[in-house]
Amino acid sequence: MHKGILFILLSGACFFVVNFFVKILGPGQNELFGELQSYPAHELVLARSLVSIALSLFVIKRRKIPVFGNNKKWLIIRGFSGTIALTIFFYTLHYLPLALAATIQYLSPIFTVILAIILLKEKVYTLQWIFIGVSFLGVGIIGISKVFDSGQNLEEISFFWLLLGIISAAFSGLAYTAIMKLKTTDKPITIVFYFPLIAIPFMTILCLFHSFTIPNGIEWLFLLIIGVFTQLAQILLTKALHEGSASLIMPFQYVGAIYAFVIGYSVFNEKLSFIINIGIALILFGVIINVILRRRKLENVKFNLRHGKH
Structure confidence at residue 49 as a pLDDT band (50, 70, 90) = very high
Residues 55-114 pLDDT 10s:
889 988 888 888 888 888 999 999 999 999 999 999 998 888 888 888 888 788 778 777
Residues 6+ positions from 94 with CB-CB distance below 8 Å: 22, 23, 26, 27, 41
Residues 135-157 pLDDT 10s:
888 888 777 665 455 444 445 67
- Backbone torsions φ then ψ of 207, nearest 5 degrees: -65, -35
Residues 118-133 pLDDT 10s:
776 666 677 778 888 8
Residues 194-212 pLDDT 10s:
989 999 999 999 988 877 8
pLDDT value, residue 151: 47
pLDDT value, residue 153: 44
CB 222 within 8 A of CB 39: no
Residues 215-263 pLDDT 10s:
888 889 999 999 899 888 877 877 786 766 655 666 677 777 777 877 8
pLDDT value, residue 173: 87
Q: What is the largest CA-CA distance in the chain?
A: 67
CB 241 within 8 A of CB 182: no
Sign of CA dihedral 188, 189, 191, 192: positive
The residue extents of the domains of the chain are 3-306
CB 165 within 8 A of CB 101: yes
pLDDT value, residue 149: 53
Rounded Cα–Cα distance for residues 36 and 285 (Å)? 37
